[in-house]
Amino acid sequence: MKSTTETVSPTRVNISIELEPADLKPALETAYRQIAQQVNIPGFRKGKVPAKLLEQRFGRGMVLQEALQDAVPRAITDALVEHEVDALGTPNVVIDQDLSEVGEADSISFVAEVDVRPEIELPDYRGMSVQVADAEVTDEDVDEQLTELRGRFAKVTPVERAVADGDVVVVDVKGVADDEAVEEYSGAGMSFEVGAGNMIPGFDDAVRGASEGDVVEFLHVPTDGDYADREITLSVTVKGVRERELPEADDDFALMASEFDTIDELRDDLRLRLERSKLVDQGIEARDKLAEALLEDLDIPVPQQLLAQLMEQHFSDGHGDEDHREEFAGETMHTLRSQFLLDAIAEAEDVEVAQDDISAWIMQQAPRYGMTPDQFVQALLQADQLNAAIGDVRRAKALSVVLEAAEITDASGRPVDLKALDVDDEAEEDEAELEDELDDEAEEEAHLAAEAAAEAVIDAGDGGPGPLDRD
């Protein structure tokens, strides 16, 4: 096999490949066997039809076409390795030859057009400055947390009055679109807290002020899924109204709801947790702002063929109008530019992804999808997203390098020390106490499953970064 490369743009490389007769021989033999298994020719057993007879019956061009289904991808893979080309997406293959005129001694030439990552001249990303919001914890913040904790121990009693915020209501729901029932928007005996914001838009407003036995209706237009951009009429029957009575915030409550003896000690602990939570929020804000700042002054081109492929994947079910397509295209281009930049930083910093990194990522991601670690990895396998997952972990580590070297201040000009988030002795003791309360055996099994899954991910993937379809 002979191959040459030509760079046609910062994101595009054409690979010209010539397959000589010797290169085609294994694929042709496989093609003859496959065709022979699929046809019935009088006088010959299935699978035993001579190659010459198959060519006479179906034409050499058809046999070559079958053979190239296997030979072309293999040749492209070999050429990419030989020329150290890191391709993105699926190559576009162009064969100009008339296969019906290709003889046994002839070669077949074709061009594989592949998208590649653009070369990026990295900015000075160490020591960047970024400002984040203040993170002071007020007494009102502590009161809100305490009220939420009291809500977990609230008593719920039936009442005969109109629904108000904070009530727990029991409802039957029936969804209808174009005179057809919508099962995913229907259900009986559903309960939820009014005003908590856990239901779809319009639900709280519809039931607020209603009483037991009332039937209320409202319209909902989903933005995604099978009913995206379609009006669904939701009919809600109020089956019951229940009032929540919170326990008093006193020492007795502190003893019941926590490890503390007094309500003041409980409030102090809630304040510490809020301070840590707000510091985490500052870290997230700093990370996001740094990521945007890195992109501001860089003109990173986006491979158009890759963009088209991601668009086709996302809209393959036909959903979305032109405005949605434009919005998704913009978001995808921004994501790709960010990925390319972080990939370049990862290369510059020699960032590596270890099994522990993948294991921690799996443990974090699997619950978000309601899956066990094993189920989550199987979903990655089925979606062919293993390399993309490793790439995402690698990019996160690259951004952490930038974050650790950054100078972060809050809106009041005070320095923000994210190192305070590192696990200290007290946090380790809290974690140990928490683990004692959990099912130790189940916890151990989950960690072992994540480690095994991480090993499977690394074994199956090559560790190379790849863009994810954010469907």
Q: Quote the mean pLDDT of the chain.
A: 86
Whether 432 shows a pLDDT value over 60: the answer reads no
Q: Degrees (nearest 5) of the Cα angle 332, 334, 337?
A: 110
For the structural domain made of 279-460, what CATH number should be given? 1.10.3120
Share of the chain above pLDDT 90, in %: 59
Looking at per-residue pLDDT, the higher value among 62 and 129 belongs to 129
Domain borders along the chain are: 2-116, 155-245, 279-460
Looking at per-residue pLDDT, the higher value among 451 and 293 belongs to 293
Per-residue pLDDT of 324-339, as tens digits, reads: 899 999 999 999 999 9
Share of the chain above pLDDT 70, in %: 87
Whole-number pLDDT of residue 98: 87
Q: Is the whole model's pTM more than 0.85, yes or no? A: no
Predicted confidence band of residue 457 (pLDDT cuts 50, 70, 90)? low
Does the structural domain 2-116 have CATH classification 3.30.70.1050? Answer: yes
Q: Which CATH architecture has domain 155-245?
A: Roll (3.10)
Predicted confidence band of residue 455 (pLDDT cuts 50, 70, 90)? low
- Element at 207 (helix H, strand E): helix 203-207
Average pLDDT over residues 116-135: 92
Whole-number pLDDT of residue 58: 74
